[in-house]
């Protein structure tokens, strides 16, 4: 086993262990991938102020996100097809997040179902909802999340139309993978993944048996999903979902100040500054570039969180310095899961926490709640 020192080590290991189609699904953006690259590049360009001779003993990364105590200002973001990175991956990720003391968000497009994740957790997790044309299905998903005692609903607003990801088309990505010669050769080179897949869930757990018409076959589910993302989604739908849900609501996919102002007036508990990991509008600004103006505009009305490009504890610190009250991590989670399963997720969280803690110390900061723009070098 190689020595794992950072998220990049986990990414490299995941690329070796996960079938190409599923690794590429996680590690790709739309079209030219310019926004995908900008998410990490713009974070890396931010510079921290090193401070010395300041008492930084007894540091704390603990804070709250929508009133929930968290070990650090991080939640696992909703990621589709997580169970194809490692068998039953959503369940393993939820267990690791709960033990570490941060929230886990289950995607609508997960392999393990809401009920699967509820069966292996002892504390409430969050559920992410896509708005589908079939409002009956949307209502049923909300009801299932309530029954599973999910403590927050994350409503994704930036997937009315699906952005094209070239790698998925070239790989013929499907769930489960189509058994072509290229796929068989790829699977043969990853026997550990193939053996685990035999006993893991193999379809969209939240959809199978629950979609209109009762279809549960892979092709049926894929066709139904492709036809269901709703381009008519608007703020009236947000109000309807808020009423149906009745609990903590997080709006994900905000990148514009005007949209942030509207989101803040909905009564939601938090908004997430996010461009869907660069997987939707290619050419949009990076999440970290959009964050400061949104935090300044609405940060006193609603919790502003950040998602997009986090690969280190320093990235968490930078986002916090620019106004984020919490962050969400997606690809770092998928890399760690694909590399080492649940053990990898725990390792990744430990790495991020240590990097955050050390960076706080070297910037003269004892408490994450004291982090602000003073930690950054302004040019």
pLDDT 10s digits, 124-134: 999 999 988 88
Q: Please tell me the predicted confidence (pLDDT) of residue 164.
A: 84
Q: What CA–CA distance (Å, rounded) separates 90 from 82?
A: 6
Mean pLDDT of 158-175: 81
**Model-wide pTM > 0.85:** yes
Q: What CA–CA distance (Å, rounded) separates 342 from 274?
A: 26
Mean pLDDT of 207-214: 67
Q: Please tell me the predicted confidence (pLDDT) of residue 213.
A: 52
Indicate the pLDDT class of residue 175, thresholds 50, 70 and 90: low
Nearest to 43 by CA among 371, 273, 369, 308: 308
Of the candidates 166, 210, 276, 353, the residue annotated as catalytic is 276
Q: Annotated catalytic, 276?
A: yes
115 within domain boundaries: yes
Q: Please tell me the predicted confidence (pLDDT) of residue 223.
A: 64
Burial of 101 (0-12, 13-18, 19+ CB in 10 A): middle
Mean pLDDT of 346-373: 98
56 within domain boundaries: yes
377 within domain boundaries: no
Mean pLDDT of 295-317: 98
Q: Please tell me the predicted confidence (pLDDT) of residue 141.
A: 96
User: Any idea what the Cα angle at residue 175 is, between residues 237 and 25, rounded to 5°?
Assistant: 75
Higher-pLDDT residue of 253, 226 = 253
Q: What is the pLDDT of residues 325-335, one digit of tens each?
A: 999 999 999 99
Q: Please tell me the predicted confidence (pLDDT) of residue 162.
A: 80
Instruction: Please count the structural domains in the chain.
Output: 1
From 145-149, 201-205, 337-341, the region with the lowest mean pLDDT: 201-205
Q: What is the pLDDT of residues 241-257, one digit of tens each?
A: 999 999 999 999 999 99
Mean pLDDT of 293-310: 98
From 37-46, 146-155, 226-235, 275-284, the region with the lowest mean pLDDT: 226-235
Indicate the pLDDT class of residue 212, thresholds 50, 70 and 90: low
Mean pLDDT of 70-79: 98
350 within domain boundaries: yes
Q: What is the pLDDT of residues 102-146, one digit of tens each?
A: 999 999 999 999 999 999 999 999 999 998 888 999 999 999 999
Q: Output Rg (C-alpha) for the chain, integer angstroms.
A: 20
Nearest to 349 by CA among 329, 371, 363, 324: 329
What percentage of the chain carries pLDDT values higher than 70?
Answer: 94
- DSSP output for 295-351: HHHHTTTSEEEEES---SHHHHHHHHHTT-SEEEESHHHHHHHHHHHHHHHHHHHHH
Higher-pLDDT residue of 180, 69 = 69
Beta strands in 193-301 (DSSP E): 248-254, 270-273
Indicate the pLDDT class of residue 228, thresholds 50, 70 and 90: confident
2 within domain boundaries: no
Omega cis (within 30) before 176: yes
CATH label of the domain that carries residue 137: 3.20.20.70
What percentage of the chain carries pLDDT values higher than 90?
Answer: 79
Q: Please tell me the predicted confidence (pLDDT) of residue 171.
A: 78
Q: What CA–CA distance (Å, rounded) separates 40 from 318?
A: 12
CA torsion sign, 187 to 193 to 199 to 202?
negative
- Say which DSSP state 202 is in: -
Q: Please tell me the predicted confidence (pLDDT) of residue 217.
A: 46
Is residue 214 pLDDT above 90, yes or no?
Answer: no
Q: Please tell me the predicted confidence (pLDDT) of residue 221.
A: 56
Beta strands in the chain (DSSP E): 63-65, 68-70, 74-76, 105-106, 126-129, 152-156, 248-254, 270-273, 303-307, 326-329
Q: How far is CA 161 from CA 157, 220, 227, 231, in A?
A: 10, 20, 10, 6
Is residue 323 pLDDT above 90, yes or no?
Answer: yes
Range of the domain at 251: 7-372
Q: Please tell me the predicted confidence (pLDDT) of residue 211.
A: 67
Higher-pLDDT residue of 226, 124 = 124
Residue found under tokens 């036809």: 227
């Amino acid at each position: 086993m190689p020595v794992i020192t950072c998220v990049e080590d986990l990414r490299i290991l995941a690329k070796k262990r996960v079938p190409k189609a599923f690794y590429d699904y996680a590690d790709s953006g739309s079209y030219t991938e310019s926004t995908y690259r900008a998410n990490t590049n713009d974070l890396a360009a931010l510079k921290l102020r090193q401070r010395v001779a300041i008492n930084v003993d007894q540091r704390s990364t603990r804070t709250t996100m929508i009133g929930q105590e968290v070990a650090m200002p991080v939640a696992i973001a909703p990621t589709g097809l997580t169970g194809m990175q490692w068998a039953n991956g959503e369940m393993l990720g939820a267990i690791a997040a709960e033990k570490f003391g941060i929230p886990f968000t289950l995607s609508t497009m997960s392999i393990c179902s809401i009920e699967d994740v509820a069966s292996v957790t002892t504390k409430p997790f969050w559920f992410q909802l896509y708005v589908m044309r079939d409002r009956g299905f949307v209502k049923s998903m909300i009801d299932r999340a309530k029954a599973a005692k999910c403590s927050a609903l994350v409503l994704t607003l930036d997937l009315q139309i699906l952005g094209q990801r070239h790698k998925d088309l070239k790989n013929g990505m499907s769930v489960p993978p189509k058994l072509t010669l290229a796929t068989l050769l790829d699977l043969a080179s990853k026997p550990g993944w193939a053996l685990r897949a035999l006993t893991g869930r193999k379809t969209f757990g939240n959809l199978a048996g629950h979609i209109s018409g009762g279809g549960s076959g892979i092709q049926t589910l894929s066709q139904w999903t492709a036809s269901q993302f709703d381009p008519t989604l608007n703020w009236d739908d947000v109000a309807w979902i808020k009423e149906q849900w009745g609990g903590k609501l997080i709006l994900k996919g905000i990148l514009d100040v005007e949209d942030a102002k509207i989101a803040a007036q909905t009564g939601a508990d938090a908004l997430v500054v996010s461009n869907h990991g660069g997987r939707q509008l290619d050419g949009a600004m990076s999440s970290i570039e959009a964050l400061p103006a949104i935090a300044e505009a609405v940060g006193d009305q609603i919790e502003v969180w950040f998602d997009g490009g986090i690969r280190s504890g320093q990235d968490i610190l930078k986002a916090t310095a620019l106004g984020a009250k919490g962050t969400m991590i997606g690809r770092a989670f998928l890399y760690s899961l694909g590399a080492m399963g649940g053990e990898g997720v725990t390792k990744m969280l430990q790495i991020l926490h240590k990097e955050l803690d050390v960076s706080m110390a070297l910037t003269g900061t004892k408490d994450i709640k004291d982090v602000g723009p003073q930690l950054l070098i302004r040019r």
